[in-house]
């Protein structure tokens, strides 16, 4: 189960990297920050079971908080329907 956790966290980190690679100077800075926070939380969630097994839940909590933060930051783009090309700074 610990290896599945690591694999899923690595998948999250990879998707965050892909988003970062596609962003540019016109991307909303709040969105960029939210994805960076998500990547850091996924890293913690993947590494903590190996380094500090007794504190494993801290990584899970960090990941959940990062996901909620990302949903909050991107929520403003979805309030009028589908968010097509609306993650750019206005």
* pLDDT digit string, tens, across residues 1-35: 889 989 999 999 998 888 888 877 877 888 888 88
Q: Comparing 77 with 85, which gets the higher pLDDT?
A: 77
pLDDT of residue 58: 86
pLDDT of residue 14: 92
- Find where tokens 């599945």 sit: 4
Percent helix, percent strand, percent coil in the chain, to nearest 5? 75, 0, 25
The terminus-to-terminus CA distance of the chain in angstroms comes to 43
- Find where tokens 């380094």 sit: 51
pLDDT at 69 over 80: yes
pTM: 0.77
- Domain residue limits, the chain: 2-75
- Find where tokens 């960076």 sit: 36
pLDDT of residue 39: 92
């Amino acid at each position: 189960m610990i290896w599945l956790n690591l694999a899923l966290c690595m998948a999250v980190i990879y998707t965050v990297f892909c988003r970062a690679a596609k962003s540019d100077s016109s991307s909303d800075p709040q969105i960029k920050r939210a994805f960076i926070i998500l990547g850091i939380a996924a890293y913690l969630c993947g590494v903590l079971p190996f380094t500090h097994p007794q504190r494993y839940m801290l990584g899970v909590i960090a990941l959940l908080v990062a996901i909620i933060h990302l949903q909050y930051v991107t929520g403003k783009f979805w309030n009028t329907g589908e968010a097509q090309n609306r993650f750019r700074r206005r």
